[in-house]
Amino acid sequence: MEKARQLKDDLLGFQKRFVDGDSRFTIALWSRQTGKGFTTSFLASRGAMTEPRSKWLIVAPTERQSLETLDKCKDWIGKAHILAADTEEEFDAYQKDAKIKAKVIELPNGSKIYALPGKPASLRGFTGYLILDEFAFFEDQKEVWKAVFAVIVNPMASIKRVFVTSTPNGQGDMFHKLVDENLLNPKPDRKIKWEVQKVTIHEAAKEWEASGKLGGKTAEEYVEEVRAAFDTPEAWPQEFECEFLDTAAALLSLDMITAAESVEATEHGFDPNEEGEFYGGFDFGGISDPSIFWFAKKVWETAPDGKRVEKLVTRDVMFIKGLDTGEQLDAVRSRIDKCVRVCVDYTGPGRGFGDIAANGLPGTDFTGWGEYDADPKKFLSGKIEKVTFSEQSKRELFTPFRLCFGKVCTFIIPHVDWIRQDFHAMQMLKSGNEFKFWAPRMSNGHSDGCCAAALCRRAASFGGAAPVPPAAGRSRAANARRALAAARRARLKGAA
């Protein structure tokens, strides 16, 4: 039917690719708010309209959800100007004296679309096309899967195609197993292979933007708007980026944090005349969120085993809120002057601050402190390292920071309640074999103090000597080696 085919124009590109696939077994691993029910209802409706006497079964976690999808089917069929009858059918549930009642849409060509809750008995003996909607959220997922599998492998059954859609709901369930063995870690010896289509909120938003459905917003703006409204950062990767998350744990336990507290560390102890080797970390928050500059002094102490240990002792923690970029630069300028090196947050609004701090401000006499980059291909020997937050850079930042809070604490912090809470709020969320890092929103931000402290530790990890600038006649790689050697000599000198 041509009208039914024309209705496909209402779908986005990724939705069209799903409904037009030819695999017998298909999985839609889609983010929230990407129209799973909208798409599967079109799939069932188009199939029922174009294939006479076909049967389509929509199964969702609850009867209400399956009926909502059935209502969407009615809308699609109505757009095609086809009159369908609402009926109800009762059939055996393969249990003694048990019956299953299903709401049904019956089309004039004899096709039917059924709606049922996700119960194992609903599937046994069914013939036709099967849609499992939000499969990861089925209450009795394993038993449902057993029933599905029984009809899939039974040559006498006539299950024509199976469509599974869902957002992830953690690891270890059947949905995760299907995606893992067919997409994440494919098993070549699987007898039944599934085609898996993964669509995150980022990919969907780009298609919405291209189709003019975002009201003038860019895809990035829309995603950030959804992220802010969702306001549950720990669940964002799973709900909107289709990642199967496992367990979460605090980056630093309260015992680890309190063991690092000492009276030698101060919250407001910046002294421009104090001698020593200082490092800084700056987490930039713009005007609405706080910015924090963490200022620490490198010292050498003797550990209980007699070894010399390098430590960072917090001297000052500057909490800034309500200032624009220029005002923040003025506020931290004296601290940056005092530091050997400073790592700054170069993400989002922090990019402007990082560029000004490193390169100066055109049209003024402020020339900046220069950019630092140890990459031999670049070898920039300034004071400011610009750190763009990503999952990879966060792992590089927080993993070594956590090691500072071991049996011998090498990052000393003051006895301050908000710092303790801020550090403890930072979470490690296991995703497969890797960890992600996130923090819930609190009155003081999203563990901004922990981020600033970790940036400070990173700044100090490059050694105390200023990098040796590239010399004429030498390669950048050779100069990088000379710089690292100079840093090692400085560290050995401090240990002596």
216-267 pLDDT, tens digit each: 999 999 999 998 888 777 678 888 999 887 656 789 988 899 999 999 999 9
* % of the chain at pLDDT higher than 90: 54
Tell me what pLDDT residue 315 has: 98
Distance CA 235, CA 243 (A): 10
Which is more confidently placed, 14 or 171? 14
Tell me what pLDDT residue 124 has: 65
Tell me what pLDDT residue 169 has: 82
Tokens of 315: 């001297």
Q: Which residues contact 419 (CB under 8 A, 6 or more apart)?
A: 267, 317, 413, 449
Tell me what pLDDT residue 368 has: 93
Does this model's pTM top 0.75?
no
Residues in the chain: 496
The predicted-structure confidence for 82-112, as pLDDT tens digits, reads as follows: 999 999 987 665 555 567 778 999 999 999 9
Q: Taking 60 as the threshold, does the pLDDT of residue 414 lie above it?
A: yes
Q: How many C-alpha atoms does 38 have within 13 Å on its Cβ side?
A: 13
| Fold held by 250-495 | Nucleotidyltransferase; domain 5 (3.30.420)
Tell me what pLDDT residue 312 has: 97
Residue spans of alpha helices (H) in 30-173: 36-50, 63-79, 120-123, 141-153
Where residue 483 falls among pLDDT bands split at 50, 70, 90? very low
Average pLDDT over every residue of 109-129 = 81
Which is more confidently placed, 117 or 110? 110
Distance CA 338, CA 456 (A): 13
Tell me what pLDDT residue 245 has: 76
Distance CA 238, CA 215 (A): 26
Which is more confidently placed, 157 or 223? 223
Least confident stretch, 56-60, 311-315, 434-438: 434-438
Tell me what pLDDT residue 476 has: 36
Name the residue among 348, 216, 226 with its Cα closest to residue 288. Answer: 348
Average pLDDT over every residue of 277-286 = 93
Angle at 7 between CA 3 and CA 9, to 5 degrees: 130
Which is more confidently placed, 456 or 306? 456
Which is more confidently placed, 436 or 19? 19
Domain map (residue ranges) of the chain:
2-199, 250-495
Q: Which CATH number fits domain 2-199: 3.40.190.10, 3.40.50.300, 3.20.20.220, 3.40.50.1100?
A: 3.40.50.300
Number of helices (H), then strands (E), belonging to the chain: the values are 17, 19
Which is more confidently placed, 176 or 375? 176
Tell me what pLDDT residue 398 has: 94
Does residue 426 sit in helix, strand or coil? coil
Residue spans of alpha helices (H) in 407-475: 417-425, 448-460
Q: Taking 50 as the threshold, does the pLDDT of residue 491 lie above it?
A: no
Q: Which residues contact 42 (CB under 8 A, 6 or more apart)?
A: 7, 8, 10, 11, 15, 19, 72, 76
Tell me what pLDDT residue 334 has: 96
Where residue 375 falls among pLDDT bands split at 50, 70, 90? confident
Where residue 154 falls among pLDDT bands split at 50, 70, 90? low
The predicted-structure confidence for 430-477, as pLDDT tens digits, reads as follows: 666 677 787 766 556 678 999 999 999 999 997 544 433 333 333 333
Handedness of CA 406, 412, 414, 416 (dihedral sign): negative
Which is more confidently placed, 316 or 119? 316
Long-range contacts of 392-397 (CB under 8 A, 24+ apart): 394/436, 394/437, 395/434, 395/435, 395/437, 397/451, 397/454, 397/455, 397/458
Q: Which residues contact 156 (CB under 8 A, 6 or more apart)?
A: none
Least confident stretch, 10-24, 231-245, 403-417, 430-444: 430-444
Least confident stretch, 64-78, 297-311, 322-336: 297-311
Tell me what pLDDT residue 187 has: 87
Distance CA 161, CA 127 (A): 10
Q: Which residues contact 88 (CB under 8 A, 6 or more apart)?
A: 101, 102, 103, 104
Distance CA 310, CA 303 (A): 10
